[in-house]
Amino acid sequence: MRTTVLALLATTAPALAAGPEFTVYAPDYFASEWGPGPKIEAGFEAICGCDLRFVTGDVLPRILLEGDRTEADVVIGLNSDTTMRARASGLFAPHGQDVSGLTMPVEWTDDTFLPFNWSEFAFVYDDTRLENPPNSFQELLDAPDDLKLVIQDPRSAISGLGLLLWVKSVFGEDSKQAWEKLRPKVLTVTPGWSEAYGLFTDGEADMVLSYTSSPAYHIAAEDDATKHAAIFPEGHYLMVEMAAQLKDSDQPELAQAFMDYILSHDFQSMIAEANWSYPAKLPAEELPEAFAVLPRPDKTIFLPEDQAEVLRKPALEEWLQVFAR
Amino acid sequence: MAAGLRPLGIGRRWSPGAFVAAGLLALILGTLGTVAIHAGGLTALGSWDWRAVWFTLWQAALSATLSAALAIPVARALARRRFVGRRLLITLLGAPFILPVIVAVTGLISVFGRSGLVNGLLVPLGFGPVSVYGWHGVILAHVFFNLPLCVRMILHGWQAIPAERFRLAQSLDFAPADIARHLERPMLREVLPGAWLAVFLVCLTSFAVALALGGGPRATTVELAIYQAFRFDFDMGRAATLGLVQVGLCVLALLLAAGVAAPAGFGAGLDRAAPALAPPGWRRGADLAVIALAAAFLLVPILSVTLAGAPRIAELPPSVWEAAGRSIVMALISAVLALAVSLMLALSVAAGQRWTEAAGMLPLVASPLVLGTGLFLLLRGLASATQLALPVTVAINAVMALPFALRILIPAARALRHDYGRLADSLGMTGAARLRLLILPRLSRPLGFAGGLSAALAMGDLGVITLFADSRSPTLPLMLYQLMNSYRMADAAACSVLLMAISFALFWAFDRGGRLNAAA
């Protein structure tokens, strides 16, 4: 028993690395072995002389819970639709980066939250199972009800919240009717993205709410070109992932160095095939092959954080009313 | 109670069990209170929250009733028929209960889903496709999970009827209806309320199942409402209120079940093997059909998941195996902790301290999210969250397994005390001697079963580790989610099979160990 306890404790002991410990809060998928985390850790440790440690979990709730007592020096993986509350906490410091040269489909001016990758929400389908995908959001609404989609719950998944804001942006006053038409086509609503995507790859659903960059994974990692994002002329809602440094970090220089590292070519060139998302600052010609062949929407929709925050509750209420019947 | 009936060498008022129970109460209510205090008080619930409470209640009641009702014929058929592979089948039938939720849902969908086996058979025959998504999907999943638990509990009840009673019934030429009236119904009256209650409480806090198969907001449970309050509304006050509602429902259900249960009072037997009172004729065919149906319902989804994932297991990266090793060590420690604590509690419940039973059932309805958040707030001054991640996960898993271990141990502990308590007292057998000579040998079967359940549940639990996690030491369930989140669905399927196999192996090893001791 004692040896097993010791063995257990040993697995929790931090790896021996030179220099001070530098703590970054990140979502679990980001810091996992299959995410960009390990590469970023190695890349930054090579230049910072520190021991970078990712602490994973629900980043924003945790930061808000800990307040100014947080151990985090930097947080990564915040989403643009929830930054209003993050900003209001007053916990974050300016990133100090020049954001004029970003390669994003929208103009970015925020001096606190620094984007590191982005993608748009899209419905992904498999062309061997769905031969005539809808060519617009309206066509999707008008499609026969036996076309089945899986979406994510806006109360537990950031992608579900993104869909609410997407529908609100495209259909405005008519968003409730849009949901009414979409509802019979929704096979089920899953708690998170991974359950929904699993249902899709298992052949349960014809389309799944995911990202315009999702097919890149199948092309690059599985050599499978059958998965596509349906591109809608009404536009696609932008999802931006961001990082920010903590005002009360006890390692402000390291935090600043990490923010510098985020926009470096080294960091940006590994993000696409590690997080399967578009890097925030990388010329199109340097994108990996799998991304270069992806179709791009003509129009990208983005709501400033205050508008997203204002719309969130009424949009959720509307969705609940339609889907709870 | 006469003064001579001293409970198992334990003082009447403050036994170790009572201390443990008080500790549990402090843990569950303390974390709730901490979250509420942090939030600056409780927040009133909105109409959607109340809808979630209502849905949670009726689906849990329906799931529990269906699971318990369906388990009766299955347990009876298994109790009175003898066939090759019966023991193996009984062990296998327990598998769904210990499956990680995400694996079970995948299995159910492969059978009942839109492109599943059932529709594959029905549609060519001209029957419209059946949909598993909606409230009935939630109920189906809950019955799938909990039917095995009920079958095992009721089967234990059947096996606990002393063989002498069946011999007497045989010599009196009882017809099946007489056996039902004199032996089976009194036993069911004792066992069923506990089984129903256990399932009801499990279903109260169901989160992932309801969400994956629920089809949307109609099937919102309280646990999801807590998640929303935590994740998107940052409303800890609401999370605490909802957590309190869950505790309230639990206490109500406990009172209800306590009012219904009545001891069967068969008295002590000599542990002879019970003759299989197997009525011949059509009942034989019916029993066979019941067993076959239950086996198909419970095992086909598992087989389907296994076939899908097994081929890739060998290709899983070494880190997955490391995580598996870490999870096994954690599950073993959790199980030992859960057994020690639940044995103390069960003995004190058997000694007449009913409130300790209620305290032992509370963890079942503690929201993992509220519990985790509360602990996080309480412990943050002591050590960093990541240092605490694995120890806290082990402790929480042990606590979460308690109610199941208790439900298994309490009836056995009661019978033990009732049947042998006086003899042991008159021999002056107390303390370690009583534990070694009486309690452990007599309780080894239920202890093995309870330990197996605890280990398997701890193995598959994602639980609070998501709140405390450190990317350097993931558990196997966390790895499974990481694979899914990185689009690696095929590897995730293989990882599911590995997780399932280990959970099952742990369960089997404990359960088997318990039986070996019983035979000795």
Which pairing describes strands A92-93 and A114-126: parallel, antiparallel, or unpaired?
Answer: unpaired
Q: Which residues contact B120 (CB under 8 A, 6 or more apart)?
A: none
Higher pLDDT, A190 or A1: A190
Q: What is the pLDDT of residue B147?
A: 93
Kindly report the nearest CA distance between residue B133 and chain A, in angstroms: 6
Residues A288 and A304 in one domain: no
CATH dotted code for B7-38+316-520? 1.10.3720.10
Q: Is residue A8 a part of any domain in this protein?
A: no
For chain B, what are the domain ranges?
A: 7-38+316-520, 50-306
Contact call for B114 and A205, based on CB within 8 A: yes
Which tens digit of pLDDT belongs to each residue from A265-309?
Answer: 999 999 999 999 999 999 989 999 999 999 999 999 999 888 998
Q: Nearest chain B Cα to A81, which residue?
A: B232
Residues A162 and A230 in one domain: yes
How far, in Å, are A26, A305, B181 from residue A240 at the CA level? 15, 11, 67
Cα–Cα distance measured from residue B403 to residue B202, given in angstroms and rounded to the nearest whole number: 10
Q: What is the pLDDT of residue A2?
A: 45
Residues A203 and A289 in one domain: no
Same topology, domains B7-38+316-520 and B50-306? Answer is yes
Q: What is the pLDDT of residue B209?
A: 60
Higher pLDDT, B270 or A24: A24
Q: Is the pLDDT of residue B9 over 60?
A: no
Residues A270 and A156 in one domain: no
Q: Helix B86-93 vs helix B135-160: angle between axes, to the nearest 10 degrees?
A: 140
* Region A129-151 average pLDDT: 95
Average pLDDT, chain A: 90
Which tens digit of pLDDT belongs to each residue from B85-111?
Answer: 888 888 888 888 888 788 888 899 999
* A11 vs B207, B212, B473: nearest CB: B473
Q: Is residue A145 a part of any domain in this protein?
A: yes
Residues A217 and A308 in one domain: yes
Contact call for A32 and B488, based on CB within 8 A: no
**CA-based angle B502:B508:B513, to the nearest 5?**
130
Q: What is the pLDDT of residue B207?
A: 62
Confidence at A83, pLDDT banded by 50, 70, 90: confident
Confidence at A99, pLDDT banded by 50, 70, 90: very high
Contact call for A188 and B217, based on CB within 8 A: no
Contact call for A148 and B114, based on CB within 8 A: yes
Q: What is the pLDDT of residue B511?
A: 83
Confidence at A243, pLDDT banded by 50, 70, 90: very high
Kindly report the nearest CA distance between residue B276 and chain A, in angstroms: 42
Cα–Cα distance measured from residue B372 to residue B22, given in angstroms and rounded to the nearest whole number: 19
Contact call for B216 and A186, based on CB within 8 A: yes
Residues A44 and A142 in one domain: no
Q: What is the pLDDT of residue B13?
A: 55
* Region A200-213 average pLDDT: 95
- Per DSSP, the residues of B398-455 read HHHHHHHHHHHHHHHHHHHHHHHHHHHHHTT--HHHHIIIIIHHHHHHHHHHHHHHHH
* Region B15-36 average pLDDT: 86
Q: Is residue A77 a part of any domain in this protein?
A: yes
Residues A252 and A123 in one domain: no
Which tens digit of pLDDT belongs to each residue from B406-419?
Answer: 878 887 888 778 77
Q: Does A37 touch chain B (CB under 8 A)?
A: yes
* Region A118-145 average pLDDT: 96
Q: Which residue is it, tokens 């997780």?
A: B499
* B386 vs A1, A55, A58: nearest CB: A55
Q: Of the segments A133-137, A321-325, B375-379, B484-488, which one has the largest average pLDDT value? A: A133-137
- CB distance B373 to B230 below 8 Å: yes
Contact call for A58 and B481, based on CB within 8 A: no
For residue A43, the number of C-alpha atoms closer than 13 Å in the C-beta half-sphere is 19
Residues A272 and A284 in one domain: yes
Shortest CA distance to A298 belongs to which of A103, A105, A102, A140?
A105
Q: What is the pLDDT of residue B7?
A: 46
Q: What is the pLDDT of residue B273?
A: 59
Q: Is residue A5 a part of any domain in this protein?
A: no
**Amino acid at the residue B190:** E
Cα–Cα distance measured from residue B120 to residue B116, given in angstroms and rounded to the nearest whole number: 6
3-state secondary structure of B239: helix
Contact call for A187 and B114, based on CB within 8 A: yes
* Region A39-63 average pLDDT: 90
Q: Which residues pair with A149 in a beta bridge?
A: A186, A207
Which tens digit of pLDDT belongs to each residue from B265-278?
Answer: 555 555 555 555 66
Kindly report the nearest CA distance between residue A66 and chain B, in angstroms: 8
Q: Is the pLDDT of residue A10 over 50?
A: no
Shortest CA distance to B170 belongs to which of B64, B331, B278, B252?
B278
The phi and psi torsions of A11 (rounded to 5 degrees) equal: -70, -20
Q: Is residue A304 a part of any domain in this protein?
A: yes
Cα–Cα distance measured from residue A214 to residue B176, given in angstroms and rounded to the nearest whole number: 62
Cα–Cα distance measured from residue B495 to residue B105, given in angstroms and rounded to the nearest whole number: 15
Q: What is the pLDDT of residue A9?
A: 45
- CB distance B211 to B205 below 8 Å: no
CATH of the domain at A231: 3.40.190.10
Q: Is the pLDDT of residue B263 over 60?
A: no
Q: What is the pLDDT of residue B266?
A: 58
**CA-based angle A126:A132:A138, to the nearest 5?**
105
Kindly report the nearest CA distance between residue B109 and chain A, in angstroms: 8
Which tens digit of pLDDT belongs to each residue from B293-323?
Answer: 999 999 999 999 999 999 999 999 999 999 9
Q: Which residue is it, tokens 């039902």?
A: B180
* Region B45-62 average pLDDT: 89
Which tens digit of pLDDT belongs to each residue from B184-198?
Answer: 888 888 888 888 888
Q: Which residues contact B512 (CB under 8 A, 6 or more apart)?
A: B448
How far, in Å, are B185, B194, B195, B199, B274 from residue B188 at the CA level? 5, 10, 10, 16, 18
Cα–Cα distance measured from residue A217 to residue A284, given in angstroms and rounded to the nearest whole number: 17
Shortest CA distance to B155 belongs to which of B78, B226, B94, B84?
B78
Q: What is the ipTM of this complex?
A: 0.87
3-state secondary structure of A279: strand
Domain enclosing residue A165, as ranges: 119-238+297-324
Q: What is the pLDDT of residue B5?
A: 44
Q: Which residues contact A153 (CB under 8 A, 6 or more apart)?
A: A160, A189, A190, A191, B211, B216, B217, B224
Residues A157 and A114 in one domain: no
Contact list in B for residue A42 (CB cut-off 8 A) is none
> Quick one: which H or E segment has residue A197?
helix A193-201
Confidence at A128, pLDDT banded by 50, 70, 90: very high
How far, in Å, are A190, A263, A302, A307, B405 from residue A157 at the CA level? 9, 27, 18, 19, 34
Contact call for A57 and B218, based on CB within 8 A: no
* B234 vs A61, A218, A319: nearest CB: A61
Higher pLDDT, B508 or A13: B508
Q: Is the pLDDT of residue A11 over 50?
A: no
* Region B214-235 average pLDDT: 83
* Region B164-188 average pLDDT: 78
Contact list in B for residue A1 (CB cut-off 8 A) is 333, 336
Residues A139 and A225 in one domain: yes
Tokens of B104: 């079970």
Q: Does B130 touch chain A (CB under 8 A)?
A: no
Confidence at B8, pLDDT banded by 50, 70, 90: very low
Q: What is the pLDDT of residue B267?
A: 56
Which tens digit of pLDDT belongs to each residue from B494-519?
Answer: 999 999 999 999 998 988 877 775 54
Which tens digit of pLDDT belongs to each residue from B234-261?
Answer: 888 888 899 888 888 878 877 777 666 6
pTM of the model: 0.87
Q: Is residue A16 a part of any domain in this protein?
A: no
Classify residue A109 as exposed, middle or buried by CB count within 10 Å of its CB (0-12, 13-18, 19+).
exposed
Q: List B residues 275-294 in contact with A (Cβ-Cβ < 8 A).
A: none
- CB distance A239 to A80 below 8 Å: yes
Q: Is residue A14 a part of any domain in this protein?
A: no
Higher pLDDT, A104 or B430: A104
Tell me what percent of the residues of chain A surpass a pLDDT of 70.
94
How many pairs of residues across A and B have Cβ atoms under 8 Å apart?
A: 191
* CATH superfamily name and code, B50-306: MetI-like (1.10.3720.10)
Q: Helix A305-323 vs helix A175-182: angle between axes, to the nearest 10 degrees?
A: 50
3-state secondary structure of A120: strand
Residues A314 and A205 in one domain: yes
Average pLDDT, chain B: 82
